[in-house]
Chains A and B, each alone.
Chain A
């Protein structure tokens, strides 16, 4: 019914964009040079739970001339829309903008609209981060446009009660070696899944989408070839992984859940599935889902130091300084502060985001007890994630990587969960990709 005048809204955005494009033509990043007594307000836009709120306060205390105005957007997807709209309009971006790894490819398309942090001391602190995180934030001209916050090394969440009921080992070390320990492969994963299915008749993982996501992220090349072109059809690795995944779905290992909904968490507590792909930030999600459904630490979820197919990373963010900022120097200083080892330990304790700074990864604040270790059966969450982060290789992500993930393989993995055979679903995915006509 007469709800939103979307057509007009889009038109208005387009209109605003044009005016703003004219306006920005004459904007420069001339900063005041930052005399310390000048009152400065810095706008910061983040999303999800990044655990930075307390750090803003302590930064304001240490720098009395700085006021931080923080905006937090509920999800990364909405933050992307927000950023894109303001980027297109050429105005309205904050001084510090958080960027997610998933849309880094789009950011890199317009990396010249972000301040090169090397001008503000990035060179002095670049050893902070694990090397691949820094590499991700460096554009093709060698400019460093973002400081890494968290990373998302993936481990395996599993339900120890369900494993025990199926006659499988249920302690963390036992589970890790069940999947093959350091040499865990996807074949091992699906084989254990079939054992579990045979013993209990239940599904093994929640849905195919997250498994596929992990499989793709591990490959040397994902949807884009290394020279920056979309290449799915001739990527044999992709096809091979797809066959494994569709084999698992055909064997009934997928519970076919709706991701990000999971029956409002019920699927985590009613035994629908026994394993779950867990990057660091997902641990908080699992806890939240279980609690929404009325469960708690006794629900049996645990976290094992193993991941099929080797190290994998999913997600993680960066703090950038758009060139629209009037105070790039101060904004860069704030971004640097928010990504020190100390700050990242604080953020981990507040939100469970695993640090990308090497020094923070081994800090006792990360490796020690936290509310997450209590929930996951006293699993040393921080230590396990540090071990899972070892050996991650950053894959090249093109501008439309997230669109392909969502619009091409999202539907295809859901088809697998509905019982479509692998070949049909793969061909459907290729047809969609062709129809979308992406670059």
Chain B
């Protein structure tokens, strides 16, 4: 710090303020501290980028190189075949099947999961006794490893001896083919994902809800808004940026589901169902690389998946920007409306001497916090 203050004077002034004569010669320590200010921030952030380059960027580029070759896992690189691997994958019915499965499981898991998480968070946001206990309880499924979850659920969803089919049959219903039919298997896998992630998302949303100023709720309650009205008109709009964060992370994760389908049915662990009923893209990729041994095609699949995830990310970004602008527009119209309403009321009664800005001013911090979190 001391070096910074010492050298600040000659350096920080804009050109116009500097004396027009030749600038004074800098001493070595001044040069050093100047270098310090300019270069050290980059040094401090360098470890991340070095690591990222090593374990993120290099594999990414290398995978692309592999994908341009006819590359067998055992015999190594063969011929350079350009984009042929991408072509064959794009015309491979199993690739599209895996993509359909991934999207279907993703939708079946993300949508109910986020709705449930919002409501759990809303309940946890109330004045409960033993708050920490309830909050920790919803996080417990997240602590359990996915492998353990998959094994337990796989047993419960077993077709012949599983808990769920036993219950169904005791009510005289037909057993459901959880492991060999498309929709039941997707539901079963989505339920594993939901079980694990709903609580986690609920806690993130709870944190956002707690950032919503209580006085808005209070004043709305005073105005006679019921708890449902307050939830839909105050809580939900205020946590929208956090919702977007949750949705984006759920999308990225949802497109990479692997453990659950891999461990769901031991008889067809590599295929994701006897006829690839629930083979996700990552499972397909793994099978291609390590069972069928085609590293070139597997790398092409990895890149196609990467492109799809980036596309989904961009789509989410655009939608979220739209929602954000709609939101600020919403806030300003609401503000105007409330202001008008407030003025009308004060004109009529002129009883309570409060500042007219109070309501919108208290909305803004929440929006700012949310804005920061989004970026």
The chain A residues found within 8 Å of chain B, CB to CB, are 1-8, 10-15, 17-18, 21, 77, 81, 84-85, 87-88, 106, 109-110, 209, 256-261, 263-264, 266-267, 400, 403, 406-407, 410-411, 414-415, 418, 435-438
Contact indicator A4/B267 (Cβ below 8 Å):
no
Q: With A14-B299, A84-B290 in contact, is A257–B160 under 8 Å at CB?
A: yes
Contact indicator B59/A2 (Cβ below 8 Å):
no
Task: Give the chain B neighbours of A259 by CB distance below 8 A.
Answer: 267
Contact indicator B253/A1 (Cβ below 8 Å):
yes
B285-314 vs A, CB cutoff 8 Å, 1 = contact: the mask equals: 110011111010011001001100000000
* CB nearest neighbor in B for A8: B59
Select the residue from B93, B269, B291 with max chain A CB neighbours within 10 A. Answer: B291
Contact indicator A418/B180 (Cβ below 8 Å):
yes
Q: With A21-B76, A438-B292 in contact, is A7–B161 under 8 Å at CB?
A: no
Contact indicator A18/B298 (Cβ below 8 Å):
no
Task: Give the chain A neighbours of B249 by CB distance below 8 A.
Answer: 2
Q: Which of B17-25, B132-140, B223-231, B256-264 contacts A (4 or more CB under 8 A)?
A: B256-264
Q: How far is the CA of A17 from the CA of B197 in the complex (A)?
A: 34
Task: Give the chain B neighbours of A13 by CB distance below 8 A.
Answer: 289
Interface residues of B in 264-283 (CB under 8 A from A): 265-271, 274-275, 282
Q: With A15-B58, A88-B295 in contact, is A10–B285 under 8 Å at CB?
A: yes
Contact indicator B256/A3 (Cβ below 8 Å):
yes
> Does B202 lie at the interface of the complex (its beta carbon under 8 Å from any beta carbon of A)?
no
Task: Give the chain A neighbours of B266 by CB distance below 8 A.
Answer: 258, 260-261
| Distance between A294 CB and nearest chain B CB, rounded to angstroms | 13
Q: How far is the CA of A12 from the CA of B252 in the complex (A)?
A: 19
Task: Give the chain B neighbours of A81 by CB distance below 8 A.
Answer: 290
| Distance between B97 CB and nearest chain A CB, rounded to angstroms | 10
| Distance between B118 CB and nearest chain A CB, rounded to angstroms | 17
Task: Give the chain B neighbours of A407 by CB distance below 8 A.
Answer: 270-271, 291
> Does B100 lie at the interface of the complex (its beta carbon under 8 Å from any beta carbon of A)?
no
User: Would you list the 5 A-B pairs with minimal beta carbon distance, nearest first?
Assistant: A2-B253, A11-B59, A263-B161, A1-B253, A11-B63
Contact indicator A6/B299 (Cβ below 8 Å):
no
Q: How far is the CA of A266 from the CA of B269 in the complex (A)?
A: 21
B122-157 vs A, CB cutoff 8 Å, 1 = contact: the mask equals: 000000000000000000000000100000000100
Task: Give the chain A neighbours of B63 by CB distance below 8 A.
Answer: 7, 10-11, 14-15
Contact indicator B258/A6 (Cβ below 8 Å):
yes
Q: How far is the CA of A261 from the CA of B268 in the complex (A)?
A: 11
> Does B186 lie at the interface of the complex (its beta carbon under 8 Å from any beta carbon of A)?
no
Q: With A3-B146, A10-B298, A85-B290 in contact, is A406–B270 under 8 Å at CB?
A: yes
Q: How far is the CA of A132 from the CA of B281 in the complex (A)?
A: 41
> Does B158 lie at the interface of the complex (its beta carbon under 8 Å from any beta carbon of A)?
yes
Contact indicator A88/B265 (Cβ below 8 Å):
no
Contact indicator B94/A435 (Cβ below 8 Å):
yes
Contact indicator A109/B75 (Cβ below 8 Å):
yes
Contact indicator A411/B298 (Cβ below 8 Å):
no
B154-185 vs A, CB cutoff 8 Å, 1 = contact: the mask equals: 01001111000000000000000001100000
| Distance between A20 CB and nearest chain B CB, rounded to angstroms | 10
Contact indicator B306/A411 (Cβ below 8 Å):
no
Contact indicator A410/B268 (Cβ below 8 Å):
yes
User: How many interface contacts (CB-CB < 8 Å) are there between A and B?
Assistant: 143
| Distance between A167 CB and nearest chain B CB, rounded to angstroms | 27
Q: How far is the CA of A21 from the CA of B299 in the complex (A)?
A: 18
* CB nearest neighbor in A for B93: A435
Q: How far is the CA of A110 from the CA of B93 in the complex (A)?
A: 31
Select the residue from A7, A18, A261 with max chain B CB neighbours within 10 A. Answer: A7
Interface residues of B in 69-109 (CB under 8 A from A): 73-76, 88, 92-94, 109
Q: How far is the CA of A259 from the CA of B252 in the complex (A)?
A: 34
| Distance between A72 CB and nearest chain B CB, rounded to angstroms | 19
Ordered by A's residue number, 21 sampled pairs between the chains whose C-beta atoms are within 8 Å are A1-B250, A3-B257, A3-B258, A4-B256, A7-B256, A8-B55, A8-B60, A10-B285, A10-B286, A12-B55, A14-B62, A18-B62, A110-B74, A209-B267, A261-B267, A400-B292, A403-B292, A411-B274, A414-B267, A418-B180, A435-B92
| Distance between B102 CB and nearest chain A CB, rounded to angstroms | 12
Q: How far is the CA of A11 from the CA of B73 in the complex (A)?
A: 13
Contact indicator A14/B305 (Cβ below 8 Å):
no
Task: Give the chain A neighbours of B66 by CB distance below 8 A.
Answer: 14
Contact indicator A3/B179 (Cβ below 8 Å):
no
> Does B254 lie at the interface of the complex (its beta carbon under 8 Å from any beta carbon of A)?
yes
Task: Give the chain B neighbours of A14 by CB distance below 8 A.
Answer: 59, 62-63, 66, 295, 299
- B60 CB contact (under 8 Å) in A11, A106, A267, A418: A11
Q: How far is the CA of A185 from the CA of B291 in the complex (A)?
A: 34
Task: Give the chain B neighbours of A406 by CB distance below 8 A.
Answer: 270-271, 291
Contact indicator B259/A15 (Cβ below 8 Å):
no
Q: How far is the CA of A348 from the CA of B159 in the complex (A)?
A: 35
* CB nearest neighbor in B for A437: B88
- B196 CB contact (under 8 Å) in A1, A403, A415, A436: A1
| Distance between B347 CB and nearest chain A CB, rounded to angstroms | 54
Contact indicator A258/B160 (Cβ below 8 Å):
yes
Task: Give the chain A neighbours of B258 by CB distance below 8 A.
Answer: 3-4, 6
Contact indicator A6/B146 (Cβ below 8 Å):
no
* CB nearest neighbor in A for B110: A1
Contact indicator B253/A6 (Cβ below 8 Å):
no
Task: Give the chain B neighbours of A263 by CB distance below 8 A.
Answer: 158, 160-161
Q: How far is the CA of A111 from the CA of B257 in the complex (A)?
A: 36
Task: Give the chain A neighbours of B254 by CB distance below 8 A.
Answer: 1
Task: Give the chain B neighbours of A8 by CB distance below 8 A.
Answer: 55-56, 59-60
* CB nearest neighbor in A for B74: A110
Task: Give the chain A neighbours of B74 by CB distance below 8 A.
Answer: 84, 87-88, 106, 109-110
| Distance between B270 CB and nearest chain A CB, rounded to angstroms | 7
Task: Give the chain A neighbours of B208 by CB distance below 8 A.
Answer: none
> Does B193 lie at the interface of the complex (its beta carbon under 8 Å from any beta carbon of A)?
yes
Task: Give the chain A neighbours of B193 by CB distance below 8 A.
Answer: 1
| Distance between B275 CB and nearest chain A CB, rounded to angstroms | 5
| Distance between B282 CB and nearest chain A CB, rounded to angstroms | 4
Contact indicator B73/A88 (Cβ below 8 Å):
yes
Task: Give the chain A neighbours of B292 by CB distance below 8 A.
Answer: 400, 403, 436, 438
* CB nearest neighbor in B for A257: B160
* CB nearest neighbor in A for B260: A3
| Distance between A78 CB and nearest chain B CB, rounded to angstroms | 10
